[in-house]
Structures are given as structure tokens and as C-alpha cells.
Amino acid sequence: MHSDIVQYQDKEEVVLWMNTVGPYHNRQETYKYFSLPFCVGSKKSISHYHETLGEALQGVELEFSGLDIKFKDDVMQTTYCEIDLDKGRRDAFVYAIKNHYWYQMYIDDLPIWGE
């Protein structure tokens, strides 16, 4: 277990890291999260960096989401980024959907998986 427990103060920056995507039926086949044409948030830098357990154990290189997230900060519903889907980008998403791609992200040491 990771020994450094991060305790956030109200309004402190929380960093969301993007890890990998891949087909559900072949978990060994993985690609960088942004190999699919997902939006990247507009934030370019972070104020702190905590190596996550996932990085330490798996040797992965996580990519910053670009999302500006603050601990316990109330926000209104908003669009955080937009992307134009040309035929190539659309086809990439259709392929990922048909092949039941999953994704993984991290908030500090907490992994997030989904399909």
C-alpha cells in the first residue's frame, strides 16, 4: 500500500490522470487514453504531482486530463471541451464502441475503470 495519504484542503487542486484504453475481451491489448480522439481540458499545468500507486507498480506513464478540478468546489454544469469529429475520429470511436473498449483513469491512488 502506498504510504503517503494525500489529504486535500477545500478548493485545493485534484489531478485527474488518464491511463489506458483497450478492448474488454483482450485486457492485454492497451493503448494510451488519448490515442482515441477524446477532448483534453484547457488547463496546461498542475501545482503538484503525486506519483500514484498505479505508476509505481505498473510503470505506466499517465497523461494529465487538462481538467481543472478543485476539492469540494461547487461548479455549475458546463462544457469543458469540444472536438470536431471528422470521419477518421468518428470511425475510431465507432471501432472502440463495437469492440467494447474500457478505460482507466486515476485520481491520486484511486483507479477508475469504465466501459
pLDDT, tens digit, for every residue of 53-96?
A: 555 556 567 888 898 889 999 989 988 888 899 999 999 999 99
Q: How confident is the model at residue 50 (pLDDT cuts 50, 70, 90)?
A: low
pLDDT of 13 above 90: no
Domain span at residue 86?
Answer: 13-114
Q: Could you tell me if residue 8 is inside a domain?
A: no
Q: Could you tell me if residue 98 is inside a domain?
A: yes
Q: Could you tell me if residue 4 is inside a domain?
A: no
Q: Total domain count for the chain?
A: 1
Measured CA to CA in angstroms, residue 11 lies from 73, 79, 102, 105, 109 at distances of 6, 20, 30, 21, 19
Model confidence, pTM: 0.75
Report which residue type is found at 106: Y
Q: Could you tell me if residue 2 is inside a domain?
A: no
Q: Could you tell me if residue 21 is inside a domain?
A: yes
